[in-house]
Amino acid sequence: MKLGASIEIQGLKKTYGPLTVVDRISLSVAPGEFISLLGSSGSGKTTTLMMVAGLTMPDAGEIVIGGREISRLPPEKRALGVVFQSYALFPHYTVFNNVAFPLRLRKVAEADIKRQVQEVLDKVGLSALGGRKIGQLSGGQQQRVALARAIVFSPPVLLMDEPLGALDRKLRDQLQTEIKRIQRDLGVTVIYVTHDQEEALALSDRIAVMKDGRIDQIGTPDEIYEKPGSPFIAGFLGESNFIDVTRGRNAGDDAQVVCVADLARSFVGRLANDAARATDLVAVIRPEAIEIAGDGTRLDNQIEGVVEQRDFMGATIRIAVRCSLGKLVVRVSRLHLATNCAIGRPVSLTWRSRDMLLFPRT
């Protein structure tokens, strides 16, 4: 059964004294969509989620869930599942009783409670641990209990604030997969807060990148990664090289640019939308868009340098190359690394103009 509800947020605002921490955010989430709020510490993610949950009152704006305006309802009338880091479990209750709590609150009959709790414990892989006290569980098991408690009453919307924050990488990956599977099974709409970009990229249908209480860019993981709306976003999602350049000739969507650090060097890059008139630009290139030129490879742009550092990252190798522009970081697949690029070796780097995005410099 699909039960997700749509969420419409309009002009949501929160101030604390002179500080505007959420600055008129608007956001539409489709039924069953998984959307992440991603941003650095203090960007207003938790505050936004708390307003949707009804735990913080907005100064302005509206929140409509499933067609119903709810921004003035108390949290328990909003029928939302919440998993907050601070939303602690009851430590002296058993797993079963923690998960049963929202159902008892809703006066569900005991026989139904038993069945529903068993079902949901099964879903999160905890059916054997129903009788344990919370204090006798590992961190990952506690996170599963919190998730089970949030979904047991089949809420149409699930709000999660860094639910995996305290866990190690392996357990995070495992629970991410489970959260995604459960969300697909139930068809529930999710707003998920994280400052972990890999987590956001892996889980989300769309990501809203937050900065200073606003949504800086919203889009699918691909869109945001491939077409970052600003150098800030390019640096926040994945790694990027930044080069200060000055505008030369235009050629359609592309422009020729001269490097500030080496005026003898010019390249061709792709102009971002808002770079149409700016003269001082910053060029942004992803490390994996740069190739080490072997025999014959020669893309639109090229520069020579010397390998300064190399790090093994598993499937890829990350190479830092010193050149007249400064340091360029390159990421190559191990399988494709034919050229010798030991530290101290000269290498020639090459990349396409469409992979060099030009933004106005601020």
Ligand X SMILES: Nc1ncnc2c1ncn2[C@@H]1O[C@H](COP(=O)(O)OP(=O)(O)OP(=O)(O)O)[C@@H](O)[C@H]1O
Q: Is residue 47 involved in binding ligand X (CB under 6 A)?
A: yes
The residue among 44 and 228 lying less far from Mg ion, judged by its C-beta, is 44
CB of 221 to ligand X, least distance (A): 19
Least spacing, CB of residue 210 vs ligand X, in Å: 7
Output the smallest distance, CB 196 to ligand X, in A: 10
Residue 157 CA to residue 150 CA, distance in Å, equals 10
Smallest distance, Å, CB 208 to Mg ion?
Answer: 14
Which of 46/116 has CB closer to Mg ion?
46
CB of 163 to Mg ion, least distance (A): 12
In the shown chain, the binding pattern of residues 8 to 47 toward Mg ion, with x for contact by CB under 5 A and - for none, equals: --------------------------------------x-
Smallest gap from Cβ 170 to ligand X, in A, equals 23
- Judged by CB under 5 A, the number of residues near Mg ion is 1
Query: How many Cβ atoms are within 10 Å of 63's Cβ, its own excluded?
Result: 22
Q: Would you state the structure tokens that stand for residue 165, as one six-digit string?
A: 């924050």
Q: Look up residue 207 and give its two tokens.
A: 């990501």
39 binds, among ligand X, Mg ion, none (CB under 5 to 8 A by kind): ligand X
Binding partner selected for residue 54 from Mg ion, ligand X, none, CB under the kind-specific 5 to 8 Å limit: none
195: partner contacted, choices Mg ion, ligand X, none (Cβ within 5-8 A by kind):
ligand X
CB of 359 to ligand X, least distance (A): 24
Residues in the chain: 362
**Closer to ligand X at the Cβ: 21 or 306?**
21
Using alpha carbons only, give the angle 329, 237, 246 rounded to the nearest 5 degrees: 55
Tell me whether residue 66 or residue 75 sits nearer to ligand X (CB atom): 75
* Residue 250 one-letter amino acid: N
Q: Pick between residue 18 and residue 74 the one whose CB is nearest to ligand X.
A: 18
Q: Cβ–Cβ contacts within 10 Å for residue 140, how many?
A: 16
Site for ligand X in 166-205 (CB under 6 A): 195
User: Residue 120 burial by CB count (10 A; 0-12/13-18/19+): exposed, middle or buried?
Assistant: buried
Residue ranges in 71-110 that form contacts with Mg ion under rule CB under 5 A: none
- What one-character DSSP code corresponds to residue 133? B
CA dist 118 to 106, 143, 214, Å? 17, 17, 41
**How far from the centroid of its chain's Cα atoms is residue 114's Cα?**
36
Q: Which of 5, 29, 45, 113 binds ligand X (CB under 6 A)?
A: 45
For 305, phi and psi rounded to 5 degrees? Answer: -160, -170
- Sign of torsion over alpha carbons 72, 74, 78, 81: positive
Partner interacting with residue 149 (select from Mg ion, ligand X, none; CB below 5-8 Å by kind): none
β-strand partners of 36: 192, 207
Q: Which is nearer to ligand X, 12 or 151 (CB)?
A: 12
Size of the site for ligand X (CB under 6 A): 11
C-beta separation of 350 from 330 below 8 A: no
The DSSP element (H or E) to which 59 belongs, if any, is: none
State in angstroms the smallest separation of the CB of 47 from ligand X: 3
Binding-residue pattern over the window 5 to 44 for ligand X, x denoting contact by CB under 6 A: -----------x----x-----------------x-xxxx
Using alpha carbons, select from 186, 235, 162, 210 the residue that is nearest to residue 27: 210
Phi, psi of 154 (to 5 degrees): 50, 55
Q: SS3 sequence, 216-236?
A: EEEECHHHHHHCCCCHHHHHH
46 binds ligand X (CB under 6 A): yes
Where do contacts with ligand X occur on this chain (CB under 6 A)? 16, 21, 39, 41-47, 195
